[in-house]
Amino acid sequence: MEDCKFYELLLDLPFLSVSSVSFDSDKLVVTCHSQLGEGICPCCKKKTTKVNQRYHRSVSDLPISGRSVVLNLEVRQFICLDCNRTFSERFDFVSESTNTTHHRRSGCLCFAKTTY
């Protein structure tokens, strides 16, 4: 459990708890889940705690010590009790339509600017 706290601090991902960490010679896989107890409906902006299902989403982050970093996010899909819509929780550090963190995209852009 101490290792999990270390990776929470190292990765600096707000409102996430690290559940487990595994690594091999070239990859570090960090499994995380949200610390927030509720979701906010994007349609009516009301809070809900009713979870419909959970699924995993893999997101690439910046490498650490030569190892690629993959965040295995447990994502909750909520049901809004006011407007009856389903929606998935969103994370500020990654866009909904990408599989890389903002850190990684910024790091790649900085690397490209200094290389070329």
pLDDT tens-digit readout, 29-44: 999 999 999 999 999 9
Contact 83, 95 (CB under 8 A): no
Please, what is the average pLDDT of the chain?
83
- In degrees and rounded to multiples of 5, residue 55 shows phi and psi of -145, 165
Q: Given a cut of 80, is residue 59 above it in pLDDT?
A: yes
Predicted confidence at residue 7, as pLDDT, reads 84
Burial class (CB in 10 A: 0-12, 13-18, 19+), 21: middle
The pTM (predicted TM-score) of the whole model is: 0.75
